[in-house]
Structure 1
Amino acid sequence: MTGRRMIVVGGSVGIGRGIADAWAAAGADVVVASRNRPADAAHPAWEPIDVTAPEQAAERLAALGAERVDAVCYSAIYYGDKRADFGDIGVAEWRRQLDVNVTGLWLTLQALLPTLRAAEHGLVLGVSSEVAFNAGPGRSGYAATKAAAKALLDSIAQEEKGLHVVQVLPSGMVDTPGIRRRRPPGFDYSGYARPDSFARVAVEVATMTGRERHGDSLVVDEAGNWWSAYDRVPDSQSRVPA
């Protein structure tokens, strides 16, 4: 992947960070676009972007798209403070979920699709969630916005023929700073995936061999193995099996 320029929106921590580090380790020139600077990053390039400030974000994304872009990963996410029933969620949290999970993706596509179309093997990689397949209690806003983001990328995949669009999602929980803020001290994370669990699939779909995955949603487990969500729907993390 030497010589290819890749942008990861929301790549300072979590799955996005794992993908950014994997692409950088494979030789790509990676730019992380995020509110916070990545700590101990394997790559030095960082562009401060806050997708909840749409005019600023659009301007900075357009500047990034003025140069060559071979791939973009959208991994920015706003989950919320905690799981809560629909009636306990205020409009401010709902709007922030929309701003980050949907509108930020829309802004990224608007800015970077023209440049990606000019790339020899352009890639849009979206970080999805099982809630896009499994609506469940306590996560109505998150489920609705992630389902909207999935539908947006599914639609782009059907429109675009010169580049490929792939989505990835964890099969279960992932050990990230956001998750750790919601877990008690001493919690056992041994059964959780890690951000680097996404390294192999990120490199795979960024190469020619990944073109056969165009339009697919790939479920990734803690060992880094993956399968199509259309072959086996990921388990819900909130619904109790009947």
Structure 2
Amino acid sequence: MAGHRALVVGGSTGIGRGIADAWAAAGAEVVVCSRSRPTGPGAEALRWQALDLTRPEQAHPRLYELAAGPLKAVCFASVHYGAGRAPFSEVAEQEWLDQLAVNTTGLWHTLAASLPSLRTAAPGLFLGVSSEVAFNAGPGRSGYAATKAASKTLLDSVAQEEDSSAVRIVQVLPAGMVDSPGIRNRRPEDFDFSSYMKPSDFGALARELAVTSGEKYHGDSLVVGGDGRWWSAYGAAPVSQSRSVRS
């Protein structure tokens, strides 16, 4: 990836950060767009640009600016989970609007902004971070499930439109829960995260996809396990992380 430029939307923490770190380690110049600045080990290798997808009047023009020019790889990892799992009737409309703005409309604009630059790279890679909920739905997560399912189908459709010799579109998702600040905000202070995956579990796949521009995986959704291995969601469906909520 040396000499190539990559863009990670939502790359300051979580899976996006794991992908950004892997691409930077492979030699790419990585621009991370997010609300918060990347911190901790490896942050010095990332170039940060502030971006808040819940403020589209500012975020969308900035996306088009950042995606202009040569781009070898783009990752969309931004996500709005919501305040917590709750029945549909207890969820405020604003939460739904924010989930749409980030999870789906943010992806749409990232695609629209970056596809021309990725086609110029030929082959360029567009990597979307998906979720098992896009396959399984689940109670208490109606807005998150709906927007992630819409995002998956958007990328599936664009993958069928694009010439894979110019742009390759791949989606990745975790086999289990991932330890990240967003998840930690929704757990008790004494919660045990030892069984959770880590963002770095995505490093090996992220590196291979970037170096090969997603060769062999165009149009696929790849599930990543805690040991760093991956497989197609269409060969072994991802396990649901849903749990019952009060009605």
Residue 239 of structure 1, CA deviation: 4.9
Distance 1:209-1:64 versus aligned 2 partners, 3 A rule:
closer
Paired position in structure 2 for 1:31: 31
Which of 47, 51, 65 is matched with 1:45 structurally?
A: 47
Which of 221, 228, 240 is matched with 2:225 structurally?
A: 221
Residues 130 and 235 in structure 1, CA contact (< 8 A), matched pair in contact too: yes
Letter of the 1:193 partner, please give it: M
Give yes or no for the alignment of 1:59 onto 2:61.
yes
Residue 218 of structure 1, CA deviation: 0.4
Give yes or no for the alignment of 1:141 onto 2:143.
yes
Residue 44 of structure 1, CA deviation: 3.7
Give yes or no for the alignment of 1:173 onto 2:173.
no
Correspondences of 1:1-242 after superposition (within 5 Å) = 1-40=1-40, 41-161=43-163, 162-208=166-212, 210-239=214-243
Quick one: distance in 2 between partners of 1:65 and 1:235?
34
Residue 209 of structure 1, CA deviation: 7.0
Letter of the 1:184 partner, please give it: P
Identity of paired residues, percent? Answer: 61
Could you list the per-position Cα deviations for residues 38-92 of structure 1 after superposition, in whole angstroms to 9, with x for gaps in the alignment?
1131424111111122232222112112221111100000001110011111110
TM-score by length of 2: 0.94
Residue 186 of structure 1, CA deviation: 2.6
Question: Tell me, what secondary structure is at the counterpart of 1:102?
Answer: helix
Quick one: distance in 1 between partners of 2:85 and 2:14?
19
Residue 28 of structure 1, CA deviation: 0.7
Letter of the 1:225 partner, please give it: R
Residues 125 and 213 in structure 2, CA contact (< 8 A), matched pair in contact too: no
Residues 16 and 77 in structure 2, CA contact (< 8 A), matched pair in contact too: yes
Pairwise CA RMSD: 1.2
Residue 96 of structure 1, CA deviation: 0.5
Q: How many residues align?
A: 240
Q: Which region of structure 1 is more displaced relative to structure 2, 25-34 or 202-211?
A: 202-211
Residues 104 and 147 in structure 2, CA contact (< 8 A), matched pair in contact too: yes
Residue 185 of structure 1, CA deviation: 2.2
Residues 125 and 214 in structure 2, CA contact (< 8 A), matched pair in contact too: no
Q: Which region of structure 1 is more displaced relative to structure 2, 37-46 or 170-179?
A: 37-46
Q: Which region of structure 1 is more displaced relative to structure 2, 204-213 or 16-25?
A: 204-213
In structure 1, list runs of 5 or more residues that go unmatched.
none
Q: Which region of structure 1 is more displaced relative to structure 2, 65-74 or 18-27?
A: 65-74
Residue 120 of structure 1, CA deviation: 2.7
Letter of the 2:86 partner, please give it: A
Q: Which region of structure 1 is more displaced relative to structure 2, 172-181 or 34-43?
A: 34-43
Q: Which region of structure 1 is more displaced relative to structure 2, 152-161 or 46-55?
A: 46-55
Could you list the per-position Cα deviations for residues 20-50 of structure 1 after superposition, in whole angstroms to 9, with x for gaps in the alignment?
0010011111000111111131424111111
Residue 167 of structure 1, CA deviation: 0.3
Quick one: distance in 2 between partners of 1:209 and 1:156?
16
In structure 2, list runs of 5 or more residues that go unmatched.
none
Residues 57 and 107 in structure 1, CA contact (< 8 A), matched pair in contact too: no
Quick one: distance in 1 between partners of 2:203 and 2:161?
27
Question: Tell me, what secondary structure is at the counterpart of 1:207?
Answer: helix
TM-score by length of 1: 0.96
